[in-house]
Amino acid sequence: MLALVALLALVVHAGPASAATAAPCTPDATTGCVLGTIKTAAGEPAVGVVLTVEGGGESVEVTTGADGTWSVPVTTAGDYTVSIDPATLPEGETLRDPSVTSRTVKVLLNSQSRALFALGEPTGGATTSPTSGASAAPDDGPGPTSGSSTSGGGVTGKRVAQQLANGLVFGLLLALASVGLSLIYGTTGLSSFAHGEQVTLGAILAYFFVQTVGLDLWLAAVLATLLGAASGWLQDAGIWRPLRRKRIGLTQQMIVTIGLSMVLQYLFQFLLGGGRLRIDTTNPTRVSIGPVSLTQQAIVSAGIAVVVLAAVAAFLLYSRTGRATRAVSDNPALAAASGIGVERVIRIVWTGAAGLAALGGVLTGLYFQSTAWNMGGTVLLLMFAAVTLGGLGTAWGALAGSIVIGVVAEMSSLVIPSDMKYAGALLILILVLLVRPQGILGRRDRIG
């Protein structure tokens, strides 16, 4: 796995160096992008709107294109002021807040920062703050572009519906990785702290295949998933099986996973940089379903997650290997005495779990509209929360726990700042475990 990451990094560094000169702006290690999309009150592209981007000792004028988008590459990190010329707005259009004609955004190299200007009927001075494409918060991805990720602005039915939809999508994507983590624990008793890096690996591989090799996005997702699964096979063959054969205790193995997690995280950062990487640099198309607005990528990602999770459920329930997996999870010694190849089942679980995590990484990277070296570490605590909440060692529990965590995390931003929404989900976890320690679908164990 380390060799795979090193080879990938060498090719990534060799490939996208010329991307900075392409249109639209594509960030790299020496370039950041200030960009945005302007649409009319009816949702149509606002063409020919003039904006000025000032900062870094220079001033650049840019005009929106046929799709209403604009972008400006910058080579110096810092604060940039984006000003819009109201006189160039399409006929009959006005700014939703006419008093605000400029916004300041913080730009980092190898990242994208968005400056948003809403058009429509004036709202009496209430306006939304610009959102940054460099942010890892899910609300900057599939969530509304009008700033509903913040806790201010009041709780409305539309906001509740939007956050609920965001939570369901995020919960499904989280379940892809959590189910594998739960199966690993069920069959081996090991809590793998390196599972988050499998998520990161999938996202990075997809970025490499799309931005460097130039493959279609969904073909890249398939290849990233397959390579992620292969890395799980290699991990078990090279690390975990030898440790099991030497009868190394679970505590020592868990410490090994922590060390492996740290090594991979900082290897990702050293080789690929600390900036954010966008798997798909095109501006996402949004689809409105009643009061809910989601990107096409978010909807497709959620659909893929549902299909894959249903396939995993069918595998566990109806296939011979799936039944053997459940038997090993219930009682490895009895399963071995019944003629089941326990080591073979564990190898399959490690391979499948890594593949699911890699797919989850790809889809989560599309949901966040960016990925980074520490993305897996960020969601790892949520994965453990989902697995523990649902019931350790059960795939169904991991699915249920992931949905709960995803919905609670997104809904909590209605009343608390978005930066604290994951803390709200973990608080719910603590409260539930105080009442039902075995989790939602876990079995009661007699102690003493």
Going along the chain from its start, the domains and CATH numbers come out as: 32-134 (2.60.40.10), 160-435 (1.10.3470)
Neighbours of 377 (CB within 10 A): 20
Tens-digit pLDDT profile for residues 247-263: 999 999 999 999 999 99
Tell me what pLDDT residue 316 has. Answer: 92
**Closest by Cα among 187, 226, 167, 168 to 395:** 187
Distances (CA, A) of 134 to 34, 74, 115, 237: 10, 14, 12, 37
- If you average pLDDT over every residue of the chain, what do you get? 82
Q: Which helix (H) or strand (E) holds 430?
A: helix 421-435
**Closest by Cα among 55, 121, 71 to 94:** 121
Burial class for 13, CB neighbours closer than 10 Å (0-12, 13-18, 19+): middle
Tell me what pLDDT residue 278 has. Answer: 84
Tell me what pLDDT residue 16 has. Answer: 38
**Closest by Cα among 355, 347, 343, 342 to 231:** 355
Tens-digit pLDDT profile for residues 36-82: 889 888 778 899 999 999 988 888 999 998 888 899 999 888 889 99
Does the predicted model carry a pTM greater than 0.85?
no
Q: Measured between alpha carbons, how far is 55 from 424 in angstroms, rounded to an integer? A: 37
Break the chain down into helix, strand, coil percent, rounded to 5: 55, 10, 30
